[in-house]
Amino acid sequence: MEKKHSYWSKFTFAFKSLAKGLTLTFAHIRKARRGRSKLSIQQAGYFENQSGIATVQYPFETIPVPDNGRYKLHNEIEDCIVCDKCAKICPVNCITIEPIRSADEFGKTSDGTTKRIYAAKFDIDMGKCCFCGLCTTVCPTECLTMTKEYDFSTFDIRDHNFPFANMNPNEIEKKKKEWDEHQKTKTTASAENMTAPSASPKPIIKPKIAPTPPTE
Ligand code: SF4
Ligand code: SF4
């Protein structure tokens, strides 16, 4: 049979619930007088020390982000050898590269890798990026990295396409012409080699055969 509560037992229950709720609320208010501790996420006790105020006054206050977090990509273009590996591995095709080959080596990266290809275009569309990090793992010169910059929201999604190449249109035109000239010279030289008669035919050298000894 259901137990019947008297008027006073209900009143006591309500009063106890209210007191419990208010105790919790005041405990949070007391803690909220302190701001969040500015700790690195890798520091011991990071979560235990985040008992202060629950919200931060962004952008004036920020929560520290982990060093190995995946946020906005950056390409240190001076160290890029335009090998295209990052664009090939990207699962969503958000890296667009326009290479221009050079006939000769034109410089070295900071790790000593030879540079032979110019980047007329190196765009990363962060609006498409799924932050998988694959492009950074295949980069042979480690020039492509993920930075700690996570706030790059824009009003126009087209502004999420970040260009990294630093060649101007005149330089691009000049380097393209140089490569075309180099290719033409190479093709002409190879055609001339194919058609030119041999200056002095090589003498036919007959192999020396030892005379067969007479049979008795
Ligand atoms: S992080 Fe992933 S999705 Fe983004 S550019 Fe690199 S490979 Fe593409
Ligand atoms: S993998 Fe690295 S070096 Fe190669 S094109 Fe991409 S950013 Fe440049």
Cα separation of 85 and 88, whole Å?
5
Please name which of 132, 58, 43, 64 lies closest in space to residue 95, comparing C-alpha atoms: 132
Tokens for 215, please give them.
Answer: 């049979």
Q: Is 82 in the pocket of ligand 2 (CB under 6 A)?
A: yes
* Closest atom of ligand 1 relative to the 128 alpha carbon: 3
Q: Give me the mean pLDDT over the 10-28 stretch.
A: 93
- pTM for the whole structure: 0.71
Q: Report whether pLDDT(142) > 80.
A: yes
Q: Is 86 in the pocket of ligand 2 (CB under 6 A)?
A: yes
Tokens for 57, please give them.
Answer: 């006054």
Instruction: Collapse the DSSP code of 5 into the 3-class scheme (helix H, G, I; strand E, B; otherwise coil) and give the result.
Output: coil
CA-closest residue to ligand 2 atom 8? 80
Residue 210 region, left (φ>0) first, then alpha (ψ -120 to 50), else beta? beta
Cα separation of 115 and 106, whole Å?
6
Residue given tokens 């105020």 in the structure block: 53
CA-closest residue to ligand 1 atom 5? 129
* Closest atom of ligand 2 relative to the 85 alpha carbon: 1
From ligand 2's centre to the CA of 47, what distance in Å? Answer: 37
Higher pLDDT, 210 or 72: 72
Q: Is 139 in the pocket of ligand 1 (CB under 6 A)?
A: no
Q: Is 80 in the pocket of ligand 2 (CB under 6 A)?
A: yes
Cα separation of 150 and 164, whole Å?
18
Residue-wise pLDDT for 39-53, tens only, equals: 666 677 776 776 666
- In the chain, what percentage of residues exceed pLDDT 90? 60
**Which phi and psi (to 5°) does residue 99 adopt?**
-90, 155
Q: Is 90 in the pocket of ligand 2 (CB under 6 A)?
A: no
For residue 191, name the pLDDT band (cuts at 50, 70, 90).
confident
Q: Is 165 in the pocket of ligand 1 (CB under 6 A)?
A: no
